[in-house]
Chains A and B, each alone.
Chain A
Amino acid sequence: MNTLILSNLIVSGLGTGAIYAIVALGIVFIFRTMEAVNFAEGDMGMFMTFVAFSLICLKIPYPLVFIIVVALSFLFGVLVEKGILQFIKGMSPMAITIVTLGFVMVFQGLAGFIWGTDTKPFPPLWKGPPIKAHGIILGRQDVVTLITAFVIFIIFVLLLKKTKIGIAVRAVSEDRYAALLMGVRVSTIFAFVWGFSGLLAGLGGMLAAPRFSLDVNMMTTIQLEAFTAAVLGGFSSIPGAIFGGLTLGVLENLISFYVSSSLKEPISLIIIVVVLLVSPNGLFGKKMNKKV
């Protein structure tokens, strides 16, 4: 019986953790190539989820909306990079980070202005009662989340390792100027990175919305969890972000069940502070040397 509860907690934790991992992956991806932290990652997702909400209200079938919005999220990311960030390429990563804080205000304000600040219902991708197998209860949305996360991670890794653009992305994150000299179009790569990050954000938002209910501040907590996941994984490591997200989801579930449910929120904050103070490179991160 006890192992049953445990495995149930782990499975549903993985479902939530996959959302954290997707958002964390978007943050880490931008960080690796631009050395800037995108504080607006969650809110890009929030904004695109509201777009999806509008499309659903137009009676377009949800699976179609899902695909459209994933594509739009990619374009949204590209637009942000090409429209604004493009002009600050010469600036410090800190300046870009502060600009993303400006995005937080703009996206949240805009979403509140267009769709209102109240909570909206958002349908799950796969409706129906939870699936039961050998005593393990699986929410259908969790299944969808886990499958989507798995697929996107595979695509992501293949993209980075096997395709030309993926190799270019890795070259740019290794050394931007050397890549430029080798004929890589760095500006295109940046746009691609922001686009893919936007796609991950949109995906994370749509997967999270049925669970956390859609409102302007929906992604604030999730983004904090995603930061924790990224920190846990070492912030510059892609497998680290995925592993960190899944671990955090499970850990939260276990602690809120076995210790106290009021610890669910503080636990990620404690992890951030402790990990950064004790070993800032997390579990998988590379040590970074300061340049003078």
Chain B
Amino acid sequence: MKNKTNLTILLIALALPLVLYSKPAFVGYLTLAGIMAISALGLNIILGYSGQISLGHAAFMAIGAYSSAILTMQFHIPFILALIVSVLIAAFVGILVGFPSLRLSGFYLAIVTMALGEAVVSIFKNWKLAGGNFGIRNIPPPSILGFVFSGEISKYYLVLFFLLLSVYISNNLVRSNTGRAMRALRDSEIAAQSVGVNVAKYKIIAFSLGSALGGLSGVLYAHTVTYIHPTAFGIGLSIEILAIVMVGGVGTIAGQIIGSLFWVILPLFIGNVETLSSVIFGAALIIVVLLYPRGLVGILNAGALRKFSKRRR
């Protein structure tokens, strides 16, 4: 039954642009949701599976976005190669950021990751090659083997492909030994250590994988939005990604997609008032932590269960 639901959702996702053919702007919003979902899946590996807080996740998006933009525009490297290199760079920086997590925990880690995230933004602000405060404009659309993803709908399918890839990676990770070790250290680091889990190793793996997905999301962002500037990737975005993870359902894969959709669609409902949607999303974060620790996914699941059991009766 679970597989059937997943298949239905996949088919809907594949068919959606055909239905919305006349509204390319809306397809664009869905693409953005997909990009945010990839980033949220990355943070979910760090926060949801391994229990390490990170308030600098947007910085990895920045690293991905900037390296890919610079590689394709200044060095004329093909998109797909730039994507791979950028993701590797993000993963490598993720390993570096993972090291503080070996010594620090909880709020100390939150503060350090926040500082490191701001440091990345400040580097891009002062770096000439990265365009300084103005950022980079006119980033070319993604192209693979001569095919240019210039339209909204082709971009949507490209992002959907990478989203499915990220879901596949996350899903396999949860079921693997690595994923189990990560969850063990999330629940109790000391207990995990005492049964022989190499805590240091798995924390570093979590940070590098999570950052790689953050970087991937940044690459896709740069090439679909075609304009990046450093302040967009500051602490504000990091908090928003964290909110997506928490509101959607921390530690779940579906939660990240639902949370991102909620994040993208919410402003449309209240007339694109950015400040007001920030208020509502912040309130949603507070309410989720207070009342529904399992997020929107938990609420939906509970609803489905109730319906199911009623029918049985």
Contacts and interface: CB of A to CB of B under 8 A. Distances in A.
A and B: interacting chains: yes
Contacts of A258: none
A95 B289 CA distance: 7
Contact of A109 (B104, B105, B279): B279
B126 interface: yes
Given A98-B289, A262-B126, A272-B111, A109 B246 contact: no
User: Interface residue tally of chain A, by bracket?
Assistant: 35 or more
B242 A101 contact: yes
Contacts of B279: 105-106, 109-110, 113
A67 B235 CA distance: 32
Contact of A273 (B112, B188, B235, B273): B112
B161 interface: no
A107 B283 CA distance: 10
B257 interface: no
Contact of B282 (A97, A103, A270): A103
5 contacts: A97-B110, A273-B119, A276-B108, A280-B104, A290-B190
Interface of A: 31, 36-37, 39, 84, 87-88, 91, 93-95, 97-99, 101-113, 117, 220, 224, 227-228, 231, 235, 262, 265-266, 268-270, 272-273, 276-277, 280, 290, 292
Across the A-B interface, the 9 shortest Cβ-Cβ residue pairs: A105-B282, A109-B278, A112-B275, A109-B279, A102-B285, A106-B282, A102-B286, A113-B275, A37-B107
Contacts, number: 132
Interface of B: 53, 55, 100, 103-108, 110-112, 114-116, 118-119, 122, 126, 188, 190-191, 234-236, 239-240, 242-243, 246, 273-286, 289-290
Contacts of B106: 93-94, 97
A277 to B, nearest CB: 6
A109 B284 CA distance: 13
Given A84-B286, A99-B289, A224-B118, A105 B103 contact: no
Contacts of A235: 108
Given A280-B103, A292-B190, A105 B289 contact: no
Nearest to B120: A269
B301 to A, nearest CB: 21
Contacts of A37: 107, 110-111
B273 A266 contact: no
Contacts of B286: 84, 99, 102-103, 106
Contacts of B274: 109, 112
B235 A220 contact: yes
Nearest to B105: A290
A97 B285 contact: no
A49 B55 CA distance: 26
Given A36-B107, A104-B282, A117 B246 contact: no
Contacts of B278: 105-106, 108-109, 112
Nearest to A227: B111
Given A84-B286, A290-B190, A94 B115 contact: no
A269 B289 contact: no
Given A109-B277, A272-B111, A98 B282 contact: no
A290 B107 CA distance: 13
Contacts of B118: 224, 269
A166 to B, nearest CB: 25
Given A112-B275, A224-B118, A273-B119, 6 more contacts: A97-B107, A99-B289, A105-B279, A107-B282, A227-B115, A277-B103
B122 A272 contact: no
Nearest to B279: A109
Contact of B243 (A91, A101, A117, A273): A101
B112 A88 contact: no
Contacts of A273: 100, 112, 115-116, 119
A190 to B, nearest CB: 16
Given A88-B290, A113-B276, A280-B103, A224 B283 contact: no
